[in-house]
Amino acid sequence: MASSFRPSISSFMLPSLSSCNPSQKFSLFHLGSGIRRFHNFGLKPSKFLRHDDDNCMRAKASGNTSSIAAPENALDWVKHDKRKMLHVVYRVGDLDKTIKFYTECLGMKVLRQRDMQEQRHTNAFLGYGPEDAHFAVELTYNYGIDKYDIGDGFGHFGLAVDDISRIVELVRAKGGKITREPMLVKGGNSVNAFIEDPDGYQFELLERAPSPEPLCKVMLRVCDLDRSIKFYEKAFGMELLRTQDYPESKKTIAILGYGPEEKSTVLELTYNYGVTKYDKGDAYAQFLYVHRLQLLQMMCTKLAKQLNLQEGRLLGNLDQYLT
């Protein structure tokens, strides 16, 4: 029997443009599943979206329009939206111990903390400034779990420091692990070192002049560099800043981001020659992007609720990292 479902216009009446503000918001959304839901029920995203000259979109149905930020083509919003990397999420076995290491050794500050008793986990957000202006880390402690498998897909975080020797000695004095002493980077004149936090996550210390974004990099290993680059360009509007091949180390890296590498947090993708599979483990969770155009998510969520469907999963890339 054919479905007689027909969404009401009122269900898509969202706040007007005048009520919107430029503050950035984040969303976790499986974009692909959301688009499919419109088509599965004979609905085209373009029927509800109209592009305006003010670089915003409006939800529409049967001639009635409600102003809201959004693009005519459901995927074009990636090109026009102002975005940044928001924070990275990963799991730790001892929250207090990890917080102490990050604050005392790496100079981070606790930005906020929340205890989700019903979900049996606690989150702590740390960084070097307000979340709306700086990249941050979100530590997740799940009640009763004191150890995770990091796997070999996640690489490391990059941390820009102005005195690498001082940080290394501080980490050493606090009982931290130095996995590589300060040394000149091959083929360059910069100095780096590697340290390990209490849960085994690696941090690359990069000696630089004072940076507006100290937490400057997230490195992930991928199996198909070209396809991964295209994914982050098309799905998240990231710009390919540079690529570099290291034949002696049998690897190629690609740096992507939303601004200059020396002033913002970037994503480093590493392809190791011939490696076609990585163990993702269960420790690294995902990283989040922040954006202002959220109509597509809101509309799909409303539609899913009307149809009593489960909300979309997090968006997964080619290497199955959640974003």
- Catalytic residue IDs: 204
Beta bridge pairs of residue 15: none
Angle in degrees, CA 30, 36, 298, rounded to 5? 55
**Contact residues for 222 (Cβ-Cβ < 8 A; gap 6+):** 228, 269, 270, 271, 318, 319
> Which residues 6+ apart lie within 8 Å of 175 measured at CB?
none
- Which residues 6+ apart lie within 8 Å of 122 measured at CB? 95, 113, 114, 115, 116, 140, 141, 143
87 is in an annotated binding site: no
Beta partners for residue 61, in sequence order = 64
Which residue carries 């003010």 as its tokens?
A: 54
Contact 237, 78 (CB under 8 A): yes
Angle, helices 31-40/295-306, rounded to nearest 10 degrees:
50
311 is in an annotated binding site: no
Check: CB of residue 242 under 8 Å from CB of residue 252.
no
To the question of whether residue 138 is assigned a binding role by annotation, the answer is yes
* C-alpha angle 219-220-221 in degrees, rounded to nearest 5: 130
Annotated binding site: 138, 156, 204
Point out the annotated binding site for Zn(2+): 138, 156, 204
